[in-house]
Amino acid sequence: MKYGLRAQHAPVASAEECNVTIVEEARDSAPTAIPVEIGKPRGGPRDRRTLRKDSWWQSPTVTVVILSTFVGYSTFAAFQGRNYYVGSGRHRNLLSPFYSPCMTHACVAGSHPLGIWFQFWQFSPALLVLIIPLGLRLTCYYYRKAYYRAFWQSPPACAVADGHARYTGETRFPLVWQNIHRYFFFLAFFLNIILTIDAIEAFRLPGEGVGMTIGTIFLLVNAALLWMYSSSCHSFRHICGGNLNEFSKHRIRYRIWKIVTPLNARHMQIAWTSLVVVGLTDLYVRLVAAGVFTDPKIFVVH
Ligand code: FES
């Protein structure tokens, strides 16, 4: 670490990441150990804002900017309730990932191959669909760390003072609900299958044949990244290799665990990439549907 000051077991966002915080001045031979206890002040610098001399604020600032932009855009897109599907009238079959699967009576013709399941739903179809990805990302172990630091300042970074007087962890309402993450994982798994089918369906160019367009590439890349995001999930890694005492007795689980572990180490990068790409995919479909530009063809087989 290049802080000029050395931090061991630096203060982090969640209780499972460390139990004890030790902040040690570089030239101080007697380190101060500050235990982190629920309901008590969290460890970290007490008499000043930070012990760091680097630009520690950059990471939380970037997090605030990207997450705020995404939340703002996706809220607009979800409430708009139109321009989410490019259908046979334009020889395309592109459905925005924010609106898939479209299963309410408000869904435009051609956008609901699974049928209308939610007749009662009076609002934009996306508000129903987005419950799953929103629940998954909101409770994601990585995003929790990111938004606890960036928005809640708890703490903003290692060796930076906590923005709150007391540390309460995730042991009580509402944060105890973060444990629901594993169930959202299963729901998102189902959603990934739907979005993969959408990407394959996008190769169908009604009235022209089968082919590939820029829109097809967006849907394909989006589906692939969402699979990577799910596969690198901490809950999935636990499903694969958790609660086992001897890997040698569970060869298949061990092999899957070995595959997902390197992905899990890159969960942060995959989380950001897939977030940006899912937003861009919706934006692309939205602009084509609104007639801002046409979806260019790469090849067609008649
Ligand atoms: S930990 Fe991020 S999706 Fe599960």
Please tell me the distance between residue 297's alpha carbon and the centre of ligand 1 in angstroms: 35
Residue with tokens 């206890």: 37
pLDDT band at residue 300, thresholds of 50, 70 and 90? very high
For ligand 1, atom 2, the nearest C-alpha belongs to: 140
Q: Please compute the mean of the pLDDT values over residues 125-138 and round it to a whole number.
A: 96
Buried b (16+ CB within 10 A) or exposed e, 117-139: eeeebeebbbbbbbebbebbbeb
What are the boundaries of each domain within the chain?
56-301
Percent of the chain with pLDDT over 70: 87
Please tell me the distance between residue 275's alpha carbon and the centre of ligand 1 in angstroms: 12
pLDDT band at residue 34, thresholds of 50, 70 and 90? low
Query: Is the pLDDT reported for residue 150 higher than 60?
Result: yes
Query: Is the pLDDT reported for residue 10 higher than 50?
Result: no
Q: Please compute the mean of the pLDDT values over residues 221-237 and round it to a whole number.
A: 97
Q: Is 234 in the pocket of ligand 1 (CB under 6 A)?
A: yes
Q: Is 141 in the pocket of ligand 1 (CB under 6 A)?
A: yes
Q: Please compute the mean of the pLDDT values over residues 143-163 and round it to a whole number.
A: 91
The pLDDT assigned to 114 comes to 86
For ligand 1, atom 4, the nearest C-alpha belongs to: 233
Residue 257 to residue 265: CA distance in whole angstroms: 12
Burial of 229 (0-12, 13-18, 19+ CB in 10 A): buried
Query: Is the pLDDT reported for residue 4 higher than 90?
Result: no
Residue-averaged pLDDT of the chain: 87
Q: What is the dihedral of CA 285, 288, 292, 297, to 10 degrees?
A: 130
Rg of the chain (C-alpha set): 23
Q: Please compute the mean of the pLDDT values over residues 148-161 and round it to a whole number.
A: 90
Query: Is the pLDDT reported for residue 301 higher than 90?
Result: yes
Query: Is the pLDDT reported for residue 188 higher than 70?
Result: yes
Q: Is 142 in the pocket of ligand 1 (CB under 6 A)?
A: yes
The pLDDT assigned to 6 comes to 33
In ligand 1, the atom with minimum distance to the C-alpha of 230 is 3
The pLDDT assigned to 1 comes to 35
The pLDDT assigned to 48 comes to 74
Query: Is the pLDDT reported for residue 25 higher than 70?
Result: no
- CB 167, CB 39: distance < 8 Å: yes
Q: Is 136 in the pocket of ligand 1 (CB under 6 A)?
A: yes
Query: Is the pLDDT reported for residue 297 higher than 90?
Result: yes
List, for residues 250-269, the tens digit of each pLDDT value.
999 999 999 999 999 999 99
The pLDDT assigned to 209 comes to 94
CA distance readout (Å), 102 to 90, 93, 121 = 19, 13, 11
Query: Is the pLDDT reported for residue 246 higher than 60?
Result: yes
Lowest average pLDDT, out of 113-122, 131-140, 186-195, 237-246, goes to 113-122
Q: Please compute the mean of the pLDDT values over residues 207-212 and round it to a whole number.
A: 96
Please tell me the distance between residue 140's alpha carbon and the centre of ligand 1 in angstroms: 4
**DSSP, res 26:** T
Report which of residues 146 and 12 the model is more confident about: 146
pLDDT band at residue 12, thresholds of 50, 70 and 90? very low
Assigned token pair, 18: 């460390």
Query: Is the pLDDT reported for residue 153 higher than 60?
Result: yes
In ligand 1, the atom with minimum distance to the C-alpha of 233 is 4
List, for residues 41-76, the tens digit of each pLDDT value.
777 777 778 888 899 999 999 999 999 999 999 999
The pLDDT assigned to 33 comes to 55
The pLDDT assigned to 16 comes to 40
